[in-house]
Amino acid sequence: MPYTSWIPFAAVAVPFLVTVPIVLSSRRPNLRETWTIAAAFATVGLVVSMLPGVLDGNIPELKLFQISPAIPFTLRADPLGLFFALISSSLWLLTSFYSIGYMRGHHEHKQTRYYASFAITMAAAVGLAFSANLLTFLIFFEIMTFATYPLVIHRETPEAIAGGRKYLAYTMVGGLALLGATAWTYSLVGTLDFRPGGILTLDIPAAQHWGLFLLFCLGVGVKAGVMPFHSWLPTAMVAPTPVSALLHAVAVVKAGVFGFLRVIGFVFGTSVLLDSGAWQVLAILASITIVVGSLLALGQDHLKRRLAYSTISHLSYIVLGAALLGTTAWMGAVLHLAAHAIMKITLFFCAGAINVKTHRTLVSEMDGVGRQMPITMGAFALASIGMAGLPPIIGFTSKWHLALGVTEAGYPIFMAFLLISGLLNMAYLFPIVYRAFMIRSPHFTRFDEASWFMVIPLALTGIFSLVLGIVPNVPLQLFRLAATIAASVTGGGG
């Protein structure tokens, strides 16, 4: 039952407003970073405070003003939005601590711009999560695009500027496509409100369903890195590692795949996608991306680029699960939204710690690093096991439900894609762990971790990936939320 509450607005406003004291504290780094940490704690607290009520069916919302005569700017913390906000805000908190160690360890320039842009990006991510309709969603979607651009070009090298331009070009095309899809949807049904089971109807001509579907796929598919809209993502790895972690685990690409969940479950709905057959096209496209992304990851020697192609593959696990339209598959898709975020941010945190401490960036240079940095590489090993879908890491839980969902859908070909990708995950991640611990190198002879500002966050995310694999409802009731979301979208059917 919806009720009026200012808490969703406050959760968005806090990271927006903290940019002012961050900028004013530019000459006092400790104070600037204190503002960042305080805002991250406050945002997590506000988001978590809504969890008990949402689990009981009480949905906080706030209509702020009319964007147009019939479309309000509304924030609503429904189960799917709260799920995404819980993951985003929690990981922002850890990334804020990590950023202190990384930015100081690398002596990065323009750190005030970095922290301010980070805060605006997180405000956009939470706003995206709590958007109650497509137009509100679109506004935050575009704010995120422009807020992350300074982060991508942070180092301002020719390579970074080129990467930023490519990122901006791709994401702006996606934004224009999403704008067109939003306007088209309103012209067809007279509403843009997200509704479990969809707002489109079967009496709309099939040609319009297909045209709208393809436009939405372009709109959110660019940020989600679905092939062939993916090439901006490896290019954007010129950004500092905390930014890479942000892009892959908390914002941007997660915003794209979250957009797919909204479009599939809350705009089109099961009936329309089954009737048109559009789900099959999306499932095939996602399956191809899953395998090809893994193959491309296998060929990368640069560690961050290998992780980038891994992300391209794993985001399409979520798209595939949603496209299959069954309750179990949807549950797997939602769980993998959290699983991938936690595991991938761990891997990027580890890559950044290695780079700061050893200045190594290539997989071929990782010999013996586990002997020098056992905590860092131990966390990397945990996340790698989960990425491959092996128990007891959370990646096994999400992939298990995806596999069950494929079985229920009755399309074994999709199971083949999941199994092949799982083997490829092991092929491109496990050799890194082997090199780190089993091959000696004269460069790594003693214990010497990076700053504890970096090591503690990566250790925590590694531990969380293990804990959530064993007890997925602890501490944020993610399993229960995922089940609620899946049942509401599919009607509880398999």
* Domain extents in the chain: 277-494
- The pLDDT, as a whole number, for residue 410 is 86
Of 290, 271, 288, 173, nearest in space to 222 by CA: 173
Of 336, 325, 333, nearest in space to 493 by CA: 325
First vs last C-alpha separation in the chain:
25
- Residue 492 φ/ψ, nearest 5 degrees: 85, 0
- In the block, which residue shows the tokens 């999941």? 418
Count of alpha carbons within 13 Å of 430, Cβ hemisphere only? 11
Instruction: Show the tokens assigned to 422.
Output: 């799982």
- The pLDDT, as a whole number, for residue 492 is 60
- The pLDDT, as a whole number, for residue 494 is 41
pTM of the model: 0.94
CB 414 within 8 A of CB 287: yes
Instruction: Give the distance between the most distant pair of CA atoms in the chain.
Output: 70
DSSP state of 236: G
CB 353 within 8 A of CB 383: no
Of 51, 49, 42, nearest in space to 16 by CA: 42
Of 366, 321, 368, nearest in space to 340 by CA: 321
Asked if the bond preceding 475 is cis, omega within 30° of 0, the reply is: yes
Q: How far apart are CA 395 and CA 440, in angstroms?
A: 30
Q: How far apart are CA 436 and CA 430, in angstroms?
A: 10
Per-residue pLDDT of the chain (494 residues; tens, 9 = 90+): 888 999 999 999 999 999 999 999 988 989 999 999 999 999 999 999 999 999 999 999 999 888 877 889 999 999 999 999 999 999 989 999 998 888 887 777 788 888 999 899 999 999 999 999 999 999 999 999 888 888 888 777 888 788 888 888 888 888 899 999 999 999 999 999 999 999 988 888 888 889 999 999 999 988 887 877 777 777 776 667 777 777 767 777 888 899 999 999 999 988 899 888 889 999 999 999 999 999 999 999 999 889 989 988 999 999 999 999 999 999 999 999 999 999 999 999 999 899 888 888 899 999 989 988 999 999 999 999 999 999 999 999 999 999 999 998 888 899 999 999 999 999 999 999 999 998 887 666 677 888 899 999 999 999 999 999 998 887 778 899 999 999 999 886 44
